[in-house]
């Protein structure tokens, strides 16, 4: 069948819902929280209209949402959920359960700032706080990447038997309408065949027990196997991303998407919708003679170490934009990126710009100010300070 | 397994075993006996979810399992939610769930995991009407973490975080009536049961299997370790709990209450008979015993009235 995309103008949340529908998810358990709500409402609508045959569990909390997803996934079903901020934090315990029981659940997290003070706007601290739960993390730049991300996440998750999060930003994507090219069902089916579970709870002649006590003699190896699965996921991600490109014209084989990198003095590095603005800025800056490039980290877990090193080999500076902060330290992406380079001997000038927390607008103009700052630092050959709270009202 | 000739026909307890010897429960553990009965009743087409509790340990460490059925060890507070998910997953995959030939989805949790931290998930599962059976084995404290109180711990009982000291004891609250909370959900079937009355227990388990929708059973399972009781008194304690009306046996079925006491005409025995076999109540004064006795009889009267009006 020839690929003819179905174009629709939809929100990021609807892109997530359609992707779940097209992925033929079998169980959805979820609890509402702004700005995630319309994802699940849309899925419920599909069910109500007879467009989808999904076991739908409107649970009483996010903790139970993830627990129900885990139970369902352990039977062998394909399972989806979505949440945001406080909801994700409430799920935290069960996120470990999902990955450690090797269940390829896919979830959309709508990046939203943590309270207090209450904020419903974009911020990456919620998802990055789940960094060590053993979930893969894909950060979408736009609604198209939300849709594509969910489909790819299922492929990758079910190949390596680890859960995956697809992350979109609050309102900037979740509630903003844009053109999304959707894939006809038959072609999605070819790309994403039915799940082949690692184990199921339905073999009554050879019953298994999942998750029982493991002593120090064995626990360690369980962890090693997960570490290896994550490592393998990198290859799978690149392969699936390449295949996606071949089938549907959008190539995701790079875990860090780059542009203008070859002759760049410095690059912007960051994740999510923020990088849409940065892309725009880089085009403009290039025209104005800045030797600037662009490095969008798509997959934060597993972390694209090798790709980052390749970038660092070429540039004199990296401006890391973090829409998040780890108190007592620095921006989380910055922290991770610096850590990767330590043993390579590569020492580009790396400066951390904390931007856009709690939905503070980040514009092309802001990118330009940062570019000027980076230019100055590279000329001088040394940092003024490591972390800059860019928008601070002084 | 075949029933030997010398075993009489009238035995209603299934002969087959799905709970193996060599498990790691304490001597005289009521919970392990209870679990054994549950698996006898439901047989091998059962999926059981067990949260953090003594039974996690009883079921055995990786890579072993004492249970001859698929088992999912889950987080402490998630039993209701995880069995909701298992049920939904099975249905999504086209399996028949519950009923005579369907898969039995069983949640097996302690009183702590049910009455306290897991109450919300239990409520959600009941209210949404999942085809699963939730069994709370009631040993009246958190035994797995070393005998701390739960809201199912009775008035006057010593536990390690509500100890009895030189001046007084700290457990001043009466046992939470979890089953009343469950019945408030108006589910099709809820019952209390005891390991001292296995035929009644099996009958109730089978009934829970037949009735579509969620069922709940509160299963009284003494714990010699936590109750400071001799290991050979487990069944006797479970029986006395019923005979004193401290833990009356009853069923709630589609709005109707039915008391199933072994000797319905008999007056309850004094509560002392239940208390005196256990070390955990030794700090109680005569007045304290009276307080507990009054509570027991008040609750008993209340139940009888319910059975009269809604029988
Ligand atoms: C979130 C969480 N908090 C605390 C614990 C520690 N914990 C494990 S089992 C348990 C008590 C279990 O008591 P109960 O449900 O009554 O079962 P029992 O051990 O008596 O069989 C506790 C507090 C835990 N596993 N998870
Ligand atoms: S502590 Fe009590 S419930 Fe736990 S295994 Fe021992 S006897 Fe059984």
Residue A1, in any domain of the structure: no
pLDDT at B56 (0 to 100): 96
Q: Who's near A47: CB < 8 A, 6+ residues apart?
A: A53, A54, A56
Q: Which of B92, B109, B129, B130 to mutate to test the interface with A (most CBs of A within 10 A)?
A: B92
Inter-chain contact A209–B93, Cβ cutoff 8 Å?
A: no
Q: Which two tokens stand for residue B66?
A: 């004492």
Query: Ligand 1: which of B55, B76, B175, B226 to mutate, most ligand atoms within 8 Å of CB?
Result: B76
Going across the sheet that includes B215-220, the strands are A209-210, B71-73, B46-50, B104-110, B133-138, B215-220, B189-194, B250-253, B256-259
Between CA B98 and CA B208 the distance in angstroms is 9
pLDDT for res B9: 63
What does residue A267 show for φ and ψ, rounded to 5 degrees?
Answer: -130, 155
User: Are residues A145 and A56 both part of a single domain?
Assistant: yes
- Which residue of B lies nearest to A222 if distances are taken between CA atoms? B62
A276 and A221 co-located in one domain: no
Question: Is residue B162 a part of any domain in this protein?
Answer: yes
C-alpha of residue B233 to centroid of ligand 2, in Å: 14
Task: Say if B7 falls within a structural domain.
Answer: no
Q: Domain of residue A355: give its range.
A: 256-389
Cα pseudo-dihedral A13, A16, A20, A22, rounded to 10: 110
A40 φ/ψ sector (left φ>0, alpha ψ -120 to 50, else beta): alpha
SS3 for A58-112 is: ECCCHHHHHHHHHHHHHHCCCEEEEECHHHHHHHHHHHHHHHHCCCCCEEEEEEC
Question: What b/e string do you get for A119-147 counting C-beta neighbours within 10 Å, with b at 16 or more?
Answer: bbbbbbbbbbbbeebbbbbbbbbbbbbbb
In angstroms, the CA A152 to CA A171 distance is: 23
| Mean pLDDT of the residues in chain A | 97
In a domain, B22, yes or no: yes
Q: Which of A248, A276, A308 is the last residue of a domain?
A: A248
10 Å CB burial of residue A379 (0-12, 13-18, 19+) is exposed
**Count of domains in chain B?**
1
- The answer as to whether A377 is a domain residue is yes
DSSP H or E run through A22: helix A12-22
Q: Domain end: A188, A214, A248, which one? A: A248
B24 Cβ under 8 Å from any chain A Cβ: no
One digit per residue, pLDDT tens: chain B, 311 residues?
566 666 666 678 999 999 999 899 999 999 999 999 999 999 999 999 999 999 999 999 999 999 999 999 999 999 999 999 999 999 999 999 999 899 999 999 999 999 999 999 999 999 999 999 999 999 999 999 999 999 999 999 999 999 988 888 899 999 999 999 999 999 999 999 999 999 999 999 999 999 999 999 999 999 999 999 999 999 999 999 999 999 999 999 999 999 999 988 899 999 999 999 999 999 999 999 999 999 999 999 999 999 999 99
φ/ψ (deg, to 5) at A342: -50, -50
- Position B157 in a domain: yes
Range of the domain at B48: 18-310
Q: Which atom of ligand 2 is nearest to the CA of B110?
A: 3
Shared domain for A188 and A267, answered yes or no, is no
What is the DSSP-derived secondary structure letter of residue A349? E
A interface toward B at CB cutoff 8 Å?
26-27, 29, 54-55, 57-61, 63-65, 67-77, 79, 93-94, 97, 201-205, 207-215, 218
Of A72, A209, A215, the CB nearest to B89: A72
B149 is a domain residue: yes
pLDDT at B3: 66
- Alpha-helical (H) ranges within A216-363 are 219-248, 274-287, 305-314, 332-341
Separation CA A253–CA A260 (nearest Å): 17
Joined together, the tokens standing for residue B85 give: 């998910």
Residue B9 maps to a domain? no
Closest-lying ligand to the alpha carbon of B226? 2
B153 lines ligand 2 (CB under 6 A): no
Residue A243 lies in a domain: yes
Q: Establish if A295 belongs to a structural domain.
A: yes
A40 inside domain: yes
- Tokens at B44, concatenated: 């091998």
Distance CA A5, CA B232 (A): 73
Chain centre distance of CA A163: 12
Same-domain check for residues A107 and A131: yes
Check whether residue A108 and residue A186 sit in a common domain: yes
- Cα separation, A131 vs A271, in Å, equals 14
Cβ pair B59:A203 closer than 8 A: no
Does the beta-carbon distance from A73 to B89 stay under 8 Å? yes
Distances, alpha carbon A53 to alpha carbons A21, A47, A67, A79, B65, in Å = 9, 6, 21, 13, 35
Measured in angstroms, the CA of A68 and the nearest CA of chain B are apart by: 4
Tokens found for residue A149: 């991300």
A277 and A244, same domain (yes or no): no
- Using a CB-CB cut-off of 8 Å, the residues of chain B touching A54 are 92
Helix H, strand E, coil C: the string for chain B is CCCCCCCCCCCCCCCCCCECCCCCCCCCCHHHHHHHHHHHHHCCCEEEEECCCHHHHHCCCCCCCCECCCEEECCCCCHHHHHHHHHHHHHHCCCCECCCCCEEEEEEEEHHHHHHCCHHHHHHHHHHCCCCEEEEEECCCECCCCCECCCCCCCCCCCCCCCECCCCECCCCCCCCHHHHHHCCCCCEEEEEECCCHHHHHHHHHHHHHCCCCEEEEEECCCHHHHCCCHHHHHHHHHHHHHCCCCCCEEEECCEEEECCCCCCCCCCCCHHHHCCCHHHCCCCHHHHHHHHHHHHHHHHHHHHHHHHCC
Domain with A120 in it: what CATH number? Answer: 3.40.50.970
Nearest to B42 by CA among B115, B107, B114: B107
B112 lines ligand 2 (CB under 6 A): no
Q: Give the contacts of B302 (CB within 8 A, at least 6 positions apart).
A: none
| Helix axis angle, A143-160 to A219-248, nearest 10° | 130
Report the CATH number that the domain containing residue A322 is assigned in CATH: 3.40.50.920
β-partners of residue B179 are: none
Task: Give per-residue burial for A293-326: e unless 16+ CB within 10 Å, then b.
Answer: bbbbbbbbbbbbbebbeebbebbbbbbbbbbbbe
Q: Determine the average pLDDT of the residues in A351-376.
A: 97
Q: Which pLDDT score, from 0 to 100, does residue A126 have? A: 98
CB-defined site of ligand 1, < 6 Å: B 31, 52-55, 76-77, 109-113, 139, 141-145, 150
Contact between residue B157 and residue B148 where contact means Cβ atoms under 8 Å apart = no
CA of A337 to the centre of ligand 2 (A): 50
Same domain for A294 and A241: no
> How do residues A79-91 score in pLDDT, each as one tens digit?
999 999 999 999 9
Query: B43 touching A, CB under 8 A?
Result: no
- Residue from A191, A190, A210 nearest A199 by CA: A210
**Interacting residues of A294 by C-beta distance below 8 A, sequence separation 6+:** A257, A258, A259, A260, A261, A267, A268, A275, A278, A279, A282
Q: Nearest by CB to A207, from B69, B89, B124: name it.
A: B69
- Is B4 part of a structural domain of the chain? no
Q: Is residue B13 part of a domain?
A: no
Q: Which residues of B touch A210 (CB under 8 A)?
A: 71-73
- Tell me, using a 6 A CB cutoff, whether residue B54 lines ligand 2: yes
- If asked whether residues A63 and A204 sit together in one domain, one would say yes
Shared-domain flag, residues A231 and A263:
no
Angstrom distance (rounded) from CA A217 to CA A237: 32
How much is the ipTM here? Answer: 0.96
Q: What is the pLDDT of residue B169?
A: 87
Residues of B in contact with A211 (CB under 8 A): 72-74
> For the stretch B17-33, what's the b/e string if a residue is b when 16 or more beta carbons lie within 10 angstroms of its beta carbon?
ebbeeebebbebbbbbb
A82 falls within a domain: yes
SS (H, E, C) B16-34: CCCECCCCCCCCCCHHHHH
Ligand with an atom nearest the CA of residue B57: 2
| Chosen domain end from A221, A248, A275 | A248
Count the domains in chain A: 2
pLDDT at A25: 98
Query: Is residue A360 one of the residues assigned to a domain?
Result: yes
Tell me the ligand closest to B195's alpha carbon: 2
- Please report, for the domain that includes residue B217, its CATH number: 3.40.50.970
Q: Which of B67, B81, B86 sits opposite A74 (nearest CB)?
A: B86
| C-alpha distances in Å from residue B7, one per residue of A16, A87, B235 | 61, 56, 22
B69–A214 CB contact, under 8 Å: no
Q: Are A186 and A321 contained in the same domain?
A: no
Of A101-110, A321-330, B8-17, give the lowest mean pLDDT range: B8-17
Q: pLDDT at position B166, please?
A: 82
What region does A60 belong to: left with phi over 0, alpha with psi -120 to 50, or beta?
A: alpha
Q: Name chain A contacts of B59, Cβ cutoff 8 Å.
A: 209, 212
User: Do A295 and A191 share a domain, yes or no?
Assistant: no
Mean pLDDT confidence for A97-116: 98
Are residues A161 and A81 both part of a single domain? yes
């Amino acid at each position: 069948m020839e690929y003819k995309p179905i174009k629709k103008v939809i929100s990021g949340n609807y892109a997530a819902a359609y992707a779940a529908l097209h992925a033929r998810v079998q169980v959805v358990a979820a609890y509402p929280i702004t700005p995630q709500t319309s994802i699940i409402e849309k899925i419920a609508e599909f069910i109500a209209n007879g467009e989808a045959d999904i076991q739908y569990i409107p649970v009483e909390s996010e903790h139970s949402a993830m627990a129900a997803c885990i139970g369902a996934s352990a039977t062998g079903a394909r399972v989806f959920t979505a949440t945001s901020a406080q909801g994700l934090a409430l799920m935290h315990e069960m996120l470990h359960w999902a990955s450690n029981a090797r269940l390829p659940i896919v979830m959309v997290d709508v990046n939203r700032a943590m309270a207090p003070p209450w904020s419903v706007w974009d911020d990456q601290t919620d998802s990055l706080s789940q960094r060590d739960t053993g979930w893969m993390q894909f950060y979408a730049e736009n609604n198209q990447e939300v849709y594509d991300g969910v489909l790819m996440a299922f492929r990758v998750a079910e190949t390596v038997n680890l859960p995956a999060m697809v992350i979109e930003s609050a309102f900037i994507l979740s509630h903003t309408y844009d053109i999304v090219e959707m894939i006809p069902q038959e072609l999605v089916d070819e790309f994403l065949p039915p799940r082949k579970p690692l184990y199921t709870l339905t073999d009554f002649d050879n019953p298994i027990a999942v998750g029982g006590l493991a002593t120090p003699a064995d626990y360690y190896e369980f962890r090693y196997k997960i570490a290896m699965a994550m490592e393998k996921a990198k290859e799978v991600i690149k392969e699936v991303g390449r295949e996606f490109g071949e089938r549907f014209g959008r190539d995701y084989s790079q875990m860090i998407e780059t542009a203008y990198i070859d002759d760049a003095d410095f690059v912007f590095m960051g994740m999510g919708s923020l990088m849409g603005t940065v892309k725009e800025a880089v085009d403009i800056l290039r025209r104005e003679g800045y030797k600037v490039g662009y490095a969008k980290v798509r997959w934060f877990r597993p972390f694209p170490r090798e790709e980052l090193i390749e970038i660092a080999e070429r540039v004199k500076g990296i401006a890391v934009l973090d829409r998040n902060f780890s108190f007592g330290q620095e921006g989380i992406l910055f922290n991770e990126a610096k850590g990767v380079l330590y043993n390579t001997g590569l020492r580009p000038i790396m400066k951390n710009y904390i931007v856009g927390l709690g939905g503070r607008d980040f514009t092309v103009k802001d990118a330009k100010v940062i570019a000027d700052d980076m230019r100055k630092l590279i000329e001088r050959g040394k940092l003024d300070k490591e972390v800059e709270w860019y928008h601070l009202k002084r | 397994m075949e029933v030997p000739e010398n075993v009489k026909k009238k035995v209603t307890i299934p002969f087959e075993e799905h709970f193996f010897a060599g498990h790691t429960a304490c001597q005289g553990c009521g919970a392990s006996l209870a679990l054994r009965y549950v698996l006898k009743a439901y047989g091998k087409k059962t999926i059981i979810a067990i949260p953090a509790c003594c039974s996690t340990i009883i079921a055995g460490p990786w890579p072993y399992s004492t249970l001859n059925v698929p088992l999912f060890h889950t987080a402490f507070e998630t039993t209701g939610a995880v069995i909701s998910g298992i049920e939904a997953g099975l249905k999504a995959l086209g399996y028949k769930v519950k009923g005579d030939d369907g898969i039995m989805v069983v949640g097996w949790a302690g009183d702590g995991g049910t009455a306290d931290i897991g109450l919300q998930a239990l409520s959600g599962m009941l209210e949404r009407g999942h085809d699963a059976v939730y069994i709370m084995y009631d040993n009246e404290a958190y035994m797995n973490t070393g005998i701390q109180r739960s809201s199912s711990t009775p008035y006057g009982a010593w536990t390690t975080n509500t100890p009895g000291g030189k001046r007084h004891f700290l457990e001043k609250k009466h046992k939470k009536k979890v089953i009343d909370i469950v019945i408030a959900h108006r589910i099709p079937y809820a019952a209390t049961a005891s390991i001292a009355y296995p035929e009644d227990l099996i009958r109730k388990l089978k009934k829970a299997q037949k009735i579509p929708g969620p069922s709940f059973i509160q299963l009284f399972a003494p714990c010699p370790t936590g109750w400071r009781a001799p290991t050979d008194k487990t069944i006797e304690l479970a029986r006395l709990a019923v005979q004193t009306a401290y833990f009356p046996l009853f069923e709630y079925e589609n709005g109707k209450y039915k008391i199933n006491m072994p000797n319905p005409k008999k007056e309850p025995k004094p509560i002392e008979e239940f208390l005196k076999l256990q070390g955990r109540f030794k700090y109680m004064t005569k007045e304290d015993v009276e307080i507990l006795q009054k509570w027991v009889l008040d609750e008993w009267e209340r139940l009888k009235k319910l059975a009269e009006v809604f029988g």
